[in-house]
């Protein structure tokens, strides 16, 4: 516990990174939620992709906090590339 009686298991830098990634995820989801019916397919895709990137950033940071070696942890951008590849393969058929 710190001097204020709080448990401090996450560093301030990690907390900042998690909050930033959560803000990205939340922002894109709010845009999608409010405008989904008026959006075209491309706009919807961009909102979902933005939210997914934020979620991947959170997962990446949590993997590092949990002690996962950085060389064994996929970056958020790498995970996004995999997701876009899968989506492209599905839309071909």
Residue 35, pLDDT score? 97
Spatial separation of the C-alpha atoms in residues 18 and 63, rounded to whole Å: 12
Residue bearing the bigger pLDDT, 20 or 10: 20
Place of tokens 């008026």: 38
Residue 19, pLDDT score? 96
- 33-54 residue pLDDT tens: 999 999 998 899 889 989 999 9
Could you tell me the residue range of the domain that residue 30 belongs to? 14-92
Residue 14, pLDDT score? 92
Give domain status of residue 65, yes or no: yes
> Looking at the 3D structure of the chain, how many domains does it have?
1
Give domain status of residue 87, yes or no: yes
Residue 9, pLDDT score? 78
Give domain status of residue 61, yes or no: yes
- 51-84 residue pLDDT tens: 999 999 999 999 989 888 888 778 888 877 877 7
Spatial separation of the C-alpha atoms in residues 53 and 59, rounded to whole Å: 10
């Amino acid at each position: 516990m710190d001097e204020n009686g709080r448990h401090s298991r996450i560093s301030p830098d990690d907390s900042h990174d998690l909050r930033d990634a959560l803000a990205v995820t939340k922002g894109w989801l709010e845009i999608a939620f409010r405008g989904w019916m008026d959006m075209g397919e491309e706009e919807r895709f961009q909102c979902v992709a933005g939210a997914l990137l934020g979620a991947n950033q959170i997962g990446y940071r949590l993997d590092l906090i949990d002690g996962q070696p950085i060389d064994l942890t996929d970056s958020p951008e790498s995970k996004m590339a995999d997701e876009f590849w899968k989506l492209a393969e599905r839309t071909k058929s």
